[in-house]
Amino acid sequence: MATFLFDKIVFGPVKSRRLGVSLGINLSPVAGKWCNFDCVYCECGLNAQNPAGSNKIPKREEVSEALEMKLKEMQEEGSVPDVITFAGNGEPTMHPHFASIIDDTIKLRDAYCKSAAISVLSNSTMLHKPAVVEALKKVEQNIMKLDSGIEETILRINQPSGRYAVVDVIENLKQFDGQLILQTMFTRGHVNGLWIDNTTEADLAAWEEAVRKIRPRQVMIYTIDRDTPFEGLKKVPVQELRIIAARIKDLGFKVSVSG
């Protein structure tokens, strides 16, 4: 199925299912994917399909200049975003100057649209770096991914590069003392002849245990809504997502559902 890349450093604003009117920031190359995950459901396609190649990641100064220009434009139009969201063509926390860029963004937000929240969509893999954790603690919505509590399922769905240990990721997420939002994408279907499904009872039980340990202030659960690299993937019906959400609500956590 068709997928797409974000072709600017600052893009939008767009209407987000979960965040409202979102002004996006892309810290990956504008003409290629740059991520240590290769999720089978990624709207940007697979890493091999859209390699970053010689395209460079944006410099800290370029990000700041592009964001200020856009915020000035929106201010002149009399509009402001609900949220400034780090997303784009890969994993934003991989950027070597991520912490400094967060500081720059906070200053610009305070100058042009103080009511807007700052959000980071992350795959939770760079939390072994203290500077990344401290930067994420400064933003209003640090949204961390965990698609299963079973490592084998994550390896199939998220296809991380290099070493990945779900037990380490859970421990790193505990560093936030509950001040984070946990995000989980539920899907199932055939991918390269393999059946992928993170809605099995085993997966849900392991995921629930992870939620208990991480103690997020909110859990966001959702399913695919855009084109993915594999046509065999299917949406999980919203009624089923609500049943999953009820299990987490019964544990005392706030949950949002996007079908």
CA distance 55 to 51: 9
pLDDT in single tens digits along all 259 residues of the chain: 556 788 899 998 887 766 778 999 999 998 888 999 999 999 988 888 766 665 789 999 999 999 999 999 999 998 889 999 999 999 999 999 999 999 999 999 999 999 999 999 999 999 999 999 999 999 999 999 999 999 999 999 999 998 999 999 999 999 999 999 999 999 999 998 999 999 999 999 999 999 999 999 999 999 998 888 898 999 999 999 999 999 999 999 999 999 7
What pLDDT digit, counting tens, does each position of 84-104 carry? 999 999 999 999 999 999 999
**Per-residue pLDDT, 154:** 97
CA distance 2 to 172: 34
**Per-residue pLDDT, 3:** 66
Which domains are seen in the chain, by residue range?
10-258 (3.20.20.70)
CA distance 123 to 93: 9
What pLDDT digit, counting tens, does each position of 163-202 carry? 999 999 999 999 999 999 999 999 999 998 999 999 999 9
Q: Which own/partner contact pairs does 152-159 have at CB distance under 8 Å and 24+ positions apart? A: 153/196, 153/197, 153/198, 153/203, 156/40, 156/191, 156/194, 156/196, 157/39, 157/40, 157/41, 157/185, 157/187, 157/196, 157/198, 158/37, 158/38, 158/39, 158/40, 158/123, 159/37, 159/38, 159/39, 159/40
**Per-residue pLDDT, 8:** 93
**Per-residue pLDDT, 15:** 78
CA distance 9 to 66: 7
Q: Which neighbouring-strand residues pair with 241? A: none
- Name the residue with tokens 């504008």: 30
Decide: 120 and 84 in contact? Cβ < 8 Å: no
- Token output for 32: 């290629």
